[in-house]
Amino acid sequence: MDFLKRLLAAPLIVVFLVIVFAVPLVQAVVELHRGKNIQALELIVDLTVTPYRNANTMHRLAARASGYLDTLAGALTTPVDSSHDRTDLLVDDAIANIEDLKRAIVTRNRYITADSLIPAVFRLDTIAIRLADFGRDVHDAPQARILADLSDLRALTYSLTKEYPERSLLTLPFLAVGGWRDILWNDHYVRPYEKGLENSSVFAIAGRPAMQFVRYLLFRDLGEKGVLGSHSWFFYKPDVDFLVKPDVLDPRSIAVDPNDKLVTDNPVAAIVKFKQLLQNSGIDLLMVIMPGKPSIYPDLLAPGIAPSAAGTLSHSQRMLRELRQAGVEVLDLFGPFAQERFRDAEAGDSLYLHEDTHWKGRAVRLAARLLAQRIKQYPWYRPGSTEYAIDSVTVERTGDVAVMTTLQPQAVHRFYGGFVPEKTLCYQVYRITRDSSGAITDRSLYKDDYRTSQILLLGDSFSRIYEIDEPRSAGWIAHCAFELSQPIASLVNDGGASTLVRQSLARNPKLLKGKKLVVWEIVERDFRFGENGWKDVAITIN
């Protein structure tokens, strides 16, 4: 009887095993066929092989950094090879190699990155800054000083090879212990690993578009990145989350759902520290908090909200107060934007794109005008003499929220008439050059002036849109220059205006040379969702 039961159960067991193992087996075969790694094995690789491989990568980069300095020493002591171009190239290569080593140090594995402000990275930042200074002085400073500086730099890079020694296979088990600690004792690896398995699954990829489209047809669901508002306006979910969740200065922000982004950094403290750093060098700081679309059009996000609430519901109002109390100069755009939106009917246009997170040309010009008015109040300001002109141009822009939904635009348009590139009016800024008679001899698109400008603008995608991408020279950077009749300088990092843009500035501190003012623009959602949070960044200002 027992034998008969086992015999009858055998087919069920076989079917069960086929179902259980068919999915990962098919996935592995597809990944091998496409020349990719088998993702199901990535966990094992990161537990064992990755720490060993990373250690040897760091050794190789450290040895290469030392090699660049040795070659540079030879170039400076051999007249045939001591051309400016060669030494400049070697210095640039050495700095780039240091940046590669920094990335290798903070990259634990494919999903976990260490804090980029650890002491080892600070030390490499110091070496990179000294290399940059060396590169500027190598052609002008006395030979004895150049050789002494080079000797110090060589000693520093030699020490890196000892700090990051070459590893043999015998050390693999010891290195793997660190990998186990990074992966198995927290959820920082497992969660993105699970997400990666989900996103790369051939079965999910095959079925997901159809399911997403059905959800859109039935419930008008834009997915995890988008929120559908009234009149087919699309809102970016982090913009909405910033408004509805506790503000970043609220203690509840560090004790939320584990699937949410915890907020442990204090943006006000980071901004105040940056202000003090600039102030010590005689540079003013002007903060510009860019209103998100739902802050200015809350009634289109939630019909129960009155239009009169525009500009008043955002947590940024508290940030404005806190920054001012801390002595930080802030340009308030919320009130002017809220007033301007009630002129939409008169202007025949809105301040923001319908299916995008960003603003339109009307808002660009308003913000630039307000920024220029404040800049003109500084005692060091002198009127510019550069002549600019403006031409209007219409561009088509596919909304970034629409793109992030991953829905098929053609299918959506067929059913609902949405997901069509939006035409928007932009205003390009041109520089005008005249001869002695006053006739125009040249007309060229606006360009930043990093050498003579007294103003440096740090920003995110709001500073990039229309300025760097289509149609170019039509963003608020160009329009600020137009209002001031003089060019400015800029440093832009999409989504990284909280920390990454300051890290970029730390790697290029010469951008601050001769500057009287730093304008720091950041979209309000990045107080909570800014990439890399709000870390302290050490910047050496010469």
Domain ranges in the chain are: 40-183, 226-529
Indicate whether 457 pLDDT > 70. yes
Mode of pairing for the β-strands spanning 387-397 and 422-434: antiparallel
The pLDDT assigned to 481 comes to: 96
pLDDT at residue 7 tops 80: no
What rounded mean pLDDT belongs to the chain? 84
pLDDT of residue 486: 96
Q: Of residues 204 and 273, which shows the higher confidence score?
A: 273
How far is the CA of 34 from the CAs of 202, 421, 477, in angstroms? 12, 33, 44
- The residue ranking higher by pLDDT, 73 or 523, is 523
User: pLDDT digits over 95-145, tens only?
Assistant: 888 888 888 888 888 888 776 557 787 788 888 888 888 877 777 778 888
Tokens linked to 211: 């399911």
Strands 440-445, 422-434: parallel, antiparallel or unpaired by DSSP?
antiparallel
Q: What are φ and ψ of residue 442, in 5° steps? A: -155, 145
E-strand ranges in 250-401 read: 284-290, 329-331, 387-397
Asked if residues 515 and 501 have their Cβ atoms less than 8 Å apart, the reply is no
Is residue 484's pLDDT more than 80? yes
Per-residue burial over 48-72, b if 16 or more Cβ lie within 10 Å, else e, is bebbbbbbbbbbbbbbbbbebbebb
Q: Which residues of 470-498 are buried (b: 16+ CB within 10 A; e: fewer)?
A: ebbbbbbbbbbbbbbebbbbbbbbbbbbb
Q: Model confidence over 343-395: pLDDT tens digits?
A: 999 999 999 999 899 999 999 999 999 999 999 999 999 999 999 999 999 99
Q: What is the pLDDT of residue 346?
A: 92
Higher pLDDT, 175 or 368: 368
pLDDT band at residue 489 using 50, 70 and 90 as cut-offs: very high
**How would you list the strands of the sheet with 284-290, edge to edge?**
329-331, 284-290, 517-523, 455-459, 489-492
Percent of the chain with pLDDT strictly greater than 70: 84
Lowest mean pLDDT among 138-142, 482-486, 532-536: 138-142
Query: What is the pLDDT averaged over residues 22-46?
Result: 70
Residue 390's CB: how many other CB atoms inside 10 A? 15
Query: In this structure, what token pair is assigned to residue 93?
Result: 């290569």
Q: Does residue 415 have a pLDDT over 60?
A: no
Confirm if 524 and 295 have CB atoms less than 8 A apart.
yes
**What pLDDT score was predicted for residue 17?**
65
DSSP state at residue 169: G
Taking each helix axis from N to C end, the angle separating 202-219 and 409-416, rounded to the nearest 10 degrees, works out to: 20
The residue behind tokens 């209002």 is 483
What is the predicted pLDDT for the residue at 137?
Answer: 77
Q: Is the pLDDT of residue 81 over 50?
A: no
pLDDT of residue 366: 97
Where are the extended beta strands (E) located within 252-399?
A: 284-290, 329-331, 387-397
How far is the C-alpha of 249 from the C-alpha of 236, rounded, in Å?
22
- The Cα 514–Cα 469 span in angstroms is 28
Q: Is the pLDDT of residue 289 over 80?
A: yes
CA distance 204 to 281: 55
Has residue 274 got a pLDDT over 50? yes
Contact 356, 464 (CB under 8 A): no
- pTM score, whole prediction: 0.68
- pLDDT on residue 286: 97
Task: State yes or no: pLDDT of 202 exceeds 70.
Answer: no
Mean pLDDT, rounded, for 472-483: 95
462 vs 125, residue with greater confidence = 462
At 508-530, the pLDDT tens digits run 888 999 999 999 999 999 998 88
Q: Residue 383: left if φ>0, alpha if ψ -120 to 50, beta else—which one?
A: beta
